[in-house]
Amino acid sequence: MNVENSSDLFINSSSTINISGDWLADGNTASFGGSVVSFVGSGVQLISGVTDSDFATLDIALGATVTLEQNIQISSNIDISGILNIESYTINQTSTTTNNVVIYSGGNLTATSGFINVNLITLESGSSFDIGTGTIQINSTWTNNGASVNPNTGNYLFNPDANAYINGNTTQFNYIEVATGQILYLNTNTDFNSLTLNGFLNVQSYTLSPITNSDISIPSGGGLWATTGKIICDNFTFARFCFP
Residue 21 falls inside a structural domain:
yes
Residue 3 has a pLDDT of 44
pLDDT attached to residue 5: 39
127 domain residue, yes or no? no
The count of domains in the chain is 2
In a domain, 206, yes or no: yes
Regarding whether 107 and 38 lie in a shared domain, the answer is: yes
> Given a cut of 70, is residue 203 above it in pLDDT?
yes
Shared domain check, 104 and 173: no
What is the predicted pLDDT for the residue at 236? Answer: 74
Confirm whether 232 is domain-assigned: yes
Does 146 map to a domain?
no
Q: Which of 88, 115, 142 finishes a domain?
A: 115
- Predicted confidence (pLDDT) at residue 231 exceeds the cutoff of 60: yes
Please report the pLDDT score of residue 191 as a whole number: 95
Higher-confidence residue: 240 or 85?
85
Does any domain span residue 121?
no
Closest by alpha carbon to 192, among 143, 235, 242? 235
Span of 92-96, 109-113, 133-137, 180-184 with lowest mean pLDDT: 92-96
- The reply to whether 160 and 207 lie within a common domain is yes
Question: Would you state the pLDDT for residue 146?
Answer: 97
Choice among 22-26, 196-200, 214-218 with the minimum mean pLDDT: 22-26
User: Is the domain of 67 the same as that of 10?
Assistant: yes
Q: How far apart are CA 243 and CA 230, in angstroms?
A: 9
Pair (174, 106) in one structural domain = no
Tell whether 111 and 7 lie within a shared domain.
yes
30-37 mean pLDDT = 71
Look at residues 115, 142, 169 and tell me which one is the last residue of a structural domain: 115
Question: Same domain, yes or no, for 100 and 158?
Answer: no
Shared domain check, 155 and 110: no
pLDDT for res 30: 58
Instruction: Please indicate, yes or no, whether residues 158 and 214 belong to a single structural domain of this protein.
Output: yes
* Owning domain of residue 206: 151-244
Q: Are residues 1 and 111 in the same domain?
A: yes
pLDDT of residue 94: 82
Q: Do residues 29 and 91 both lie within one domain?
A: yes
Same domain, 91 and 155: no
State yes or no: pLDDT of 96 exceeds 70: no
Q: Is residue 144 part of a domain?
A: no
| pLDDT reported for residue 147 | 97
Residue 99 has pLDDT above 90, yes or no: no
Within a domain: 50: yes
Is the CB of residue 165 less than 8 Å from the CB of residue 141? Answer: yes
Asked whether the beta carbons of 87 and 66 are under 8 A apart, the reply is no
Q: What confidence tens digit (pLDDT) does each residue in 119-173 have? A: 999 999 999 999 999 999 999 999 999 999 998 789 999 998 889 999 999 999 9
**Residue 196 or residue 53, greater confidence:** 196
pLDDT at 143: 97
CA–CA distances in Å: residue 13 to residues 17, 33, 55, 77, 132: 11, 6, 12, 16, 36
pLDDT band at 32 (very low <50, low <70, confident <90, very high): low
- Residue 111, pLDDT above cutoff 80: yes
